[in-house]
Structure 1
Amino acid sequence: MVTDVRVSQNTSRSLLPYLQQANIQYTILISDLQKAIENQTGLRSYRNRRSLSGYNYEVYHSLEEIQGWMHHLNKTHSDLIHMFSVGKSYEGRPLFVLKLGKRSRPYKKAVWIDCGIHAREWIGPAFCQWFVKEALQTYQTDPAMKKMLTQLYFYIMPVFNVDGYQFSWTNDRFWRKTRSKNTRFRCHGVDANRNWKVKWCDEGASFHPCDDTYCGPFPESEPEVKAVAHFLRRHRKQIKAYLSFHAYAQMLLYPYSYKYATIPNFNCVESAAYNAVNALQSAYGIRYKYGPASSTLYVSSGSSMDWAYKNGIPYAFAFELRDTGHFGFLLPETLIKPTCTETMLAVKNITLHLLKKCH
């Protein structure tokens, strides 16, 4: 069992001797976290702010930049992209989604992709943007991509937790939750991945508003979760796969998250996961673990993946992207390209699996 902990300078002075005394092995992964944060966000001021036509997919982008990019694509690629909003966040920001695909026939099956449910996991939104870029750039040259965009629609939500993401840029790089206010406590936010109506606030979630895994006052209390759940419910017959991108652990997870049990279509989902992690590994040799979330990672109730599956979406996956803790949430920008490149192979693999067989 390995655990990553973040401790203040003062605490580390007493923690390290305690670990030594207790004979607990430890490794210092990041010795000066503040410096690491400043190195990542400090680059912004003098970075080349090129026009959107030269949008840089190998850097992290602020919410404002990502939404500007979405508007730009909506204008310049209207044949393949339609941008719309599913609602508004707690702080009143629009919840934008890109509908990607060739309008080849009125009804097509679809895949839902969301990134950034947890604010600090910046590699998620970076991947969502990368996916769209790859789709647009390779549509004419890659037969697999052409097939995907002709036969399916992709609903892509680059930043699910818009308020939290914005806050992670301006105030607290390690912010995880939404930004809703709690009347009884001074703490903000709810874990948007514990707020879904599936075994809500059971194991792996907290009732305390100050905790990182706070499940909220009731299911779908968060406007972001409510808006997406409403959209998915309305389109549940059309949507065949739900993919959610998180960090970090290098895992491909499928239901259930809230209990140790085998899903009815286990064989189909398991073989899709097995092939996807093999495809991913073929790029740089990065080996992902895969399996049911409860036994592969940990038990957690009220997750979007379980909810999607319970609501009739047969393929529901959560990716935990790079790395395994060396950089943690501060994955350097130099690793955006390899991470997205390998993940792209896995997503294409799952999508083509969907078109081939098992339903």
Structure 2
Amino acid sequence: LNDKDVFISNLQKEIEKQTGYRSARRRRSESHYDYEVYHSLEEIQSWMLEVNRTHPEIVDMFSIGTSYEGRPLYVLQIGKRSRPQKKAMWIDCGVHAREWIGPAFCQWFVKEAINSYQHDSVMRRLMNQLNFYIMPVLNVDGYHYSWTTDRFWRKTRSKNHKYHCRGVDANRNWKVKWCEEGASSHPCDDTYCGPFPESEPEVRAVAKFLRKNKKRFKAYISIHAYAQMLLYPYSYKYAMIPNFGCVESAAQNAVTALYSAYGVRYRYGPASTTLYVSSGSSMDWAYRIGIQYAFAFELRDTGYYGFLLPEALINPTCTETLRAVKAIATGLLKKCQVNRDVFPYI
């Protein structure tokens, strides 16, 4: 490939395929919810309310706060109500507004968790022994803006007093090596770290919730796009995490499970060496507060469609990713031996 290669000759047409009339008609004309099209924020939030209403025995919906523009930050808790202090796994999607396959996956996961509970013994065991906390859209303002105004918007929508540029990179705003390498201090940049750590109400709300419940959370997963990678700490430095063996093994199992669906290969490893160095990421932060398994997925593809992954690829992408997430969750139920001297959080 070189700089002159044209992947998509009519970009506007591809954008309209996902946001336009055809898609909207398909979404609304069917009585059932279509998991193979992209959904607006309003549709996703209505769907969350509906899932909560129709499956009260395994679903609980709540808000952890409000966004900069005043939208509720909804989370779904999914799991069999067997005992109060079950181990938990957190999955967030839609941190970066333009990465639409993320929210599509979070919805897909919920659908599969609910629908396959009866006939899938693995999912039933996971639902019985774990609680899953799913946040389909973390950056609600940015996601809404990517539907209405700028399909390639990445950041939040907070205002900056000195500059006209809006928004902060919600994956550079966490309190771990904040605003060091791989983050920008300029408000107009896509990787702007914000005026201070947790300046964004969306980041602050998630951080507060996870801090409060950190003893129960055994895994943190953030879903991004695109690159076809499964990343784990550290992002901010070239160093090996204390429980490297356990995490590396979990990642390997996950990408093997993912590959088994359609033969799609994912690279896996520490984010700093596998992707690039970045500071203030949610994954590093989750690991720092003691969540031993912290991952970030970069879903399909590797650049042909990029952020405009066609709706036809939602099903295979979500199907293979589900296998990977189930592999990680299954691994949580087994004990992995960690040297407690080097990892005192346990």
Smaller-chain TM-score range? over 0.9
Matches within 5 A, 1:228-247: 228-247=206-225
| 1:47 corresponds to which of 26, 29, 33 | 26
Hey, what's the Cα distance between the residues in 1 that align with 2:71 and 2:12?
29
Deviation at residue 351 of structure 1 after TM alignment: 0.3
Give yes or no for contact 2:27–2:37 (8 Å, CA) kept in 1.
Answer: no
Q: Alignment identity in percent?
A: 73
Hey, what's the Cα distance between the residues in 1 that align with 2:11 and 2:294?
34
| 2:294 corresponds to which of 316, 340, 355 | 316
Hey, what's the Cα distance between the residues in 2 that align with 1:324 and 1:109?
34
Hey, what's the Cα distance between the residues in 1 that align with 2:154 and 2:24?
24
Q: Residue 277 of structure 2 corresponds to which residue in structure 1?
A: 299
Q: Residue 236 of structure 2 corresponds to which residue in structure 1?
A: 258
Q: Residue 62 of structure 2 corresponds to which residue in structure 1?
A: 84
Cα RMSD of the aligned pairs, angstroms, is 1.2
Displaced runs of 4+ in structure 1, greater than 3 A? none
| 1:30 corresponds to which of 5, 8, 13 | 8
| 1:147 corresponds to which of 111, 115, 125 | 125
Describe the shift of the 1:25–1:106 C-alpha distance in structure 2 as closer, same or farther (beyond 3 A).
Answer: closer
Match of 1:221, SS state, is coil
Letter in 2 for 1:288: Y
Match of 1:74, SS state, is helix
Match of 2:304, SS state, is coil
Deviation at residue 36 of structure 1 after TM alignment: 1.7
Q: Residue 344 of structure 1 corresponds to which residue in structure 2?
A: 322
TM-score scaled to structure 2, two decimals? Answer: 0.95
Letter in 2 for 1:135: A
Letter in 2 for 1:115: C
TM-score scaled to structure 1, two decimals? Answer: 0.92
Is 1:179–2:180 an aligned residue pair?
no
Q: When the two structures are aligned, how many residues end up with a matched partner?
A: 336
Q: Residue 103 of structure 2 corresponds to which residue in structure 1?
A: 125
Hey, what's the Cα distance between the residues in 2 that align with 1:48 and 1:195?
34
| 1:275 corresponds to which of 253, 275, 280 | 253
Match of 1:36, SS state, is helix
Give yes or no for contact 2:106–2:135 (8 Å, CA) kept in 1.
Answer: yes
Is 1:56–2:43 an aligned residue pair?
no
Can you list the C-alpha shifts for 1:80-114, whole angstroms capped at 9, x where unaligned? 00000000000000000000000101210000000
Letter in 2 for 1:44: S
Match of 2:43, SS state, is helix
Give yes or no for contact 2:23–2:37 (8 Å, CA) kept in 1.
Answer: no
Q: Residue 10 of structure 1 corresponds to which residue in structure 2?
A: none
Deviation at residue 34 of structure 1 after TM alignment: 1.9
Match of 1:356, SS state, is coil
| 2:205 corresponds to which of 215, 223, 227 | 227
Larger Rg: 1
Can you list the C-alpha shifts for 1:283-304, whole angstroms capped at 9, x where unaligned? 0000000000000000000000
Deviation at residue 25 of structure 1 after TM alignment: 6.1
Hey, what's the Cα distance between the residues in 2 that align with 1:287 and 1:171?
34
Can you list the C-alpha shifts for 1:181-218, whole angstroms capped at 9, x where unaligned? 00100011000000000000000000000000000000
Deviation at residue 40 of structure 1 after TM alignment: 2.2
Q: Residue 9 of structure 1 corresponds to which residue in structure 2?
A: none
Is 1:101–2:112 an aligned residue pair?
no
Hey, what's the Cα distance between the residues in 1 that align with 2:283 and 2:14?
32
| 1:156 corresponds to which of 124, 129, 134 | 134
Is 1:212–2:171 an aligned residue pair?
no
Q: Which runs of 5+ in 2 are unaligned?
A: 339-346
Is 1:200–2:178 an aligned residue pair?
yes
Letter in 2 for 1:254: Y
Hey, what's the Cα distance between the residues in 2 that align with 1:251 and 1:116?
17
Hey, what's the Cα distance between the residues in 2 that align with 1:264 and 1:32?
48
Hey, what's the Cα distance between the residues in 1 that align with 2:165 and 2:27?
37
